[in-house]
Amino acid sequence: MARTKVLTASEAAHLIPDGAVVTVSSSSGLGCPDAVLAAIGARFDAEGHPRNLTTLHPIAAGDMWGVKGIDHIAKPGCLRKVLAGSYPSGPSSAAPPAIWEMISGDTIPAYNVPSGILFDLHREAAAKRPGVLTKVGMDTFVDPMREGCAMNAKAAAEPIVSRVNFAGEDWLFFPSIVPQVAIIRATTADERGNLSYEHEGGILGPLDQALSVRNNGGLVIAQVKRLAAAGTLRPHDVVVPGVLVDVIVVAPDQLQTTNTPYEPAISGEIFRPIASFEMPKFDVGKAIARRVAMELRDGDAVNIGFGISANVPRILIEEGRHGAVTWVIEQGAIGGVPLLDFQFGCASNAEAIVQSPHQFTYFQGGGFDMSLLSFLQIDRSGSVNVSKLGLRPHVTAGAGGFVDITARAKRIVFSGYFTAGAGLEIADGSLRIAREGKVRKLVNEVEQVSFSGRRAVAQGQEIVYVTERCVLRLEPEGVTVVEIAPGVDLQRDVLAQSEFPLRVAGNLKLMPAVLFRPEPIGLELRRAA
């Protein structure tokens, strides 16, 4: 191969041909090669090229908070098709990102493909195999018997997944997609194109993306913060070797994450004192997070998602139980304390940061012990929607790794509020519902099946739903109320607020009153089986 070239972002953008399939490494603001994406958008504005790009984003490229990512190229004529694990998201009060305008307007075919499957597709393309055969996503929106990952009519007209029978079983089959260009990001490149990630909060999937392009004769562009002399990177520090990289673009002001230029604790270069982590304020959300924490077992490896459950690690710190479980997140961190807000997807004090494709293999095969996730809706079969709100689509990012994580997880705890917009008050160890929410979240049929309750029952998965007013479990007979909060009326506040009949356990219990008091609860974790 030719020696790696150091070019400006504009020069690199001029190398991308019309009609190319382009894979982009990013997780919102984390690892986003924003300077190169901005240059591609600027070239299109000036020249009308490159045109008709298909882009692959295993995790979202950019966000609504300052890293535009995919929005730089979300222009009619520039972008022809997009497949992404997730998309930029934000508050309903903000104008939707340009990519959401294109999706909702049916301007281009757009697909929400589970992040792990998208990484799998890169591996298959690299090895020149025919595609991904998987059971991940069966009986969810991923399944062609439902939506087949399609986010609009144009996508539905161009299917990307089918159901096939192999060795006597039904599987989902995603034919390989061969990318011609990879746009990845690192911290440092040496003069030979070797890439290291010492200032990054996660590695993500650049090696698999570069391999898929290199093995098919394409172009690999790496955006980095700085350039080093050849031979000065330690071999064990190199994540992507220079033999896979064609072009280096130096962007010294690239952000570590959105609104974070550089914080060494995010990249594991220093460890923060545990006392430096801010504890969640006492409110109803904290009461829910505390009850979620009671489902943990000492010694478990636990995946954690966005929303209320993201505060559970801080509950353990407050209760003196930090380190009793090992947190594992899809961007690759293992151990430590998962971070919040713009730093979500990173962890401080991690024991290891692995590449996302390997983390997703761990998740898809069910090697971890349990997952703590959120819900938007729950239906009568126990299915959950986290990925779609039709009236406000940009409020949700899509499914990301949710489908990969839940496909074979042994135990899942979903958390959220029982209704949306309720007026809730806590007083002296009890909950009072001062004003009922206008939007029911336990519905006859979820707007989109992100998690299949039917499949969970068939596989014997243990499913718990924790809300502020009750705890429910998915049993073969249906969704069952097993605990109720002190101060809550079972009929008025729970059963009457569900669109479908809820079962009530014969040994219905009270949620512990200590959950609804400000002082620590004296958390004792279960023993692992």
Distance CA 285, CA 245 (A): 46
Is residue 358 over pLDDT 60? yes
Distance CA 173, CA 188 (A): 37
Contact 356, 204 (CB under 8 A): yes
Q: How far is CA 79 from the centre of its chain?
A: 23
- Which are the catalytic amino acids? 330
Average pLDDT for 144-153: 97
pLDDT in tens, 202-259: 999 999 999 999 999 999 999 999 999 999 999 999 999 999 999 999 999 999 998 8
Is residue 78 over pLDDT 80? yes
Q: Per the structure block, which two tokens stand in for 348?
A: 């401080």
Distance CA 324, CA 327 (A): 10
Confidence of residue 372 (pLDDT cuts 50, 70, 90): very high
Query: How much is the pLDDT for 2?
Result: 65
* Torsion sign over Cα 307, 305, 34, 267: positive
Is residue 1 over pLDDT 60? no
The SS3 assignment for 157 reads coil
Please give the angle made by the CA atoms of 339, 342 and 345, to the nearest 5 degrees.
50
Confidence of residue 65 (pLDDT cuts 50, 70, 90): confident
Confidence of residue 482 (pLDDT cuts 50, 70, 90): very high
Closest CA to 418 of 284, 281, 311: 284
Least confident range of 15-24, 85-94, 345-354, 425-434 = 85-94
CB neighbour list of residue 230: distance below 8 Å, 6 or more residues apart: 190, 191, 192
DSSP of 447-497, one letter per residue?
A: SS-SB-HHHHHHHT-EEEEE-SSEEEEEETTEEEEEEE-TT--IIIIIGGG
**Long-range contacts of the stretch 515-518 (C-beta < 8 A, 24+):** 515/287, 515/290, 515/291, 515/485, 516/287, 516/426, 516/429, 516/430, 516/431, 516/485, 516/486, 517/428, 517/429, 518/282
Helix (H) or strand (E) holding 213: helix 206-214
- Find out whether the peptide bond into 280 is cis, omega within 30 degrees of 0: no
Contact 348, 272 (CB under 8 A): yes
Pairing state between β 430-435 and 370-374: unpaired
Distance CA 123, CA 357 (A): 9
In eight-state DSSP terms, residue 282 is S
Burial of residue 13 (number of CB atoms within 10 Å: 0-12, 13-18, 19+): buried
Average pLDDT for 276-282: 94
Query: How much is the pLDDT for 259?
Result: 86
Beta bridge partners of 27: 30
Query: Position of tokens 């407050």?
Result: 318
Distance CA 242, CA 325 (A): 38
Distance CA 440, CA 422 (A): 10
Confidence of residue 95 (pLDDT cuts 50, 70, 90): confident
Maximal CA-CA distance, the chain: 72
Distance CA 157, CA 230 (A): 49
Closest CA to 112 of 85, 139, 87, 130: 85
